[in-house]
Amino acid sequence: MDRSERFNKIRLALGQSRVVSFEALRTSLEVSRATLNRDLAYLRDRLNAPIVFDRDAGGYRVSQSDPAAGGQIELPGLWFNAAEIHALLTMQHLLANLDPGGLLAQHIEPLVARLNQLLGSGDGTAEEIRRRILIVGLGKRAIRLEHFERVGSALLRRKRLLIAYYSRGRGELTEREISPQRLVHYRENWYLDAWCHKRRGLRNFAVDSIRRAHILEKPAREVTQRTIDAALGPGYGIFAGRRLKWATLRFTPERARWVAAEHWHPKQRGRFEADGHYLLEIPYADHRELQMDILKYGAEVEVLAPPELRELIATQVEKVGRLYSRPAAVSRHETGGE
């Protein structure tokens, strides 16, 4: 049997009996004394398993008071091989970069230390993984999420929050009592879907725009998942709205090969035309985010419908054209001015 099976048998044996002798374990596992000694040492030193030798009882048992075990009263039920540990370290690295100031940041370091210990000093340590994996965040607002943990706590405890919220669109600070419904990580930033008791409806809040947050000892108002999805989920992007429109975009054959493989919306519809162009249809409730994504494709995309979106994009393109057609500012020194 392999080592993982032996570890599991040791765990079961110690769980079924108060004390198990060395010989009983060795016979059960059908291994040499040296192998069993190595297994027990690995469990204690690498996996922090609270196994102690009780001289008075003449065998091994699980300690219920070992401070190194962190209060464990039974052995862990999962063991990882090197490949699985590599995967865990990689996920940890991804999480740390996606959410450097988030809910788990202060709690994840002990896990990293344990994983590093399990992996040993060979190739592929956590430091090697950090060196070999580069994560580039585009559009990520470089603001520490000071109230993220409080928001997360209220969300999971189902309590209301009293927040001071800064609206970037209006440039104003308002106080809101809200019932958190779910956290959303979208395009490198965190958002909170919540019932706003001031506006009496579902709203979407950027977590980094929360200036103050206080957990209230009031139960949160519960909103069904179907209602949340209907109010905040049907349209394109993060902006809410119940009145949906459908945008029809036509991409050039060169760009079509890329766009056809992209996921813009769960309900999107797409098809190739005979000449290689690609038609993409997307539902949207608010044009702001969709407008930005259309404009980044420049001349490689044409808006076919609806007319108001086509006109909006044309106006934006015209503004950009006027901006770049202006002559660059020239210093007075270059023109001989004072």
Query: How many residues are listed for the chain in this entry?
Result: 338
What's the domain count of the chain? 4
Host domain of residue 183: 148-231
Share of residues in the chain with pLDDT > 70 (%): 71
List, in sequence order, the alpha helices (H) in 268-337: 287-295, 307-325, 332-335
CATH number at residue 252: 3.30.70
CATH number at residue 63: 1.10.10.10
Is 61 within 8 Å of 18 (Cβ atoms)? yes
* pLDDT tens digits along 82-98: 666 667 767 766 666 65
Residue 116 lies in a domain: yes
pLDDT at residue 276 is higher than 60: yes
Q: Residue 163 has what pLDDT? A: 97
Per-chain mean pLDDT for the chain: 80
Q: Residue 68 has what pLDDT? A: 44
* pLDDT tens digits along 141-166: 655 567 888 898 899 999 999 999 99
> CA-to-CA distance for 190 and 241, rounded, in angstroms?
19
Q: Which residue has the higher pLDDT, 56 or 240?
A: 56
Q: Which two tokens stand for residue 57?
A: 């009882």
Whether residue 48 sits in one domain with residue 89? no
- pLDDT category at 32 given cuts 50, 70, 90 is very high
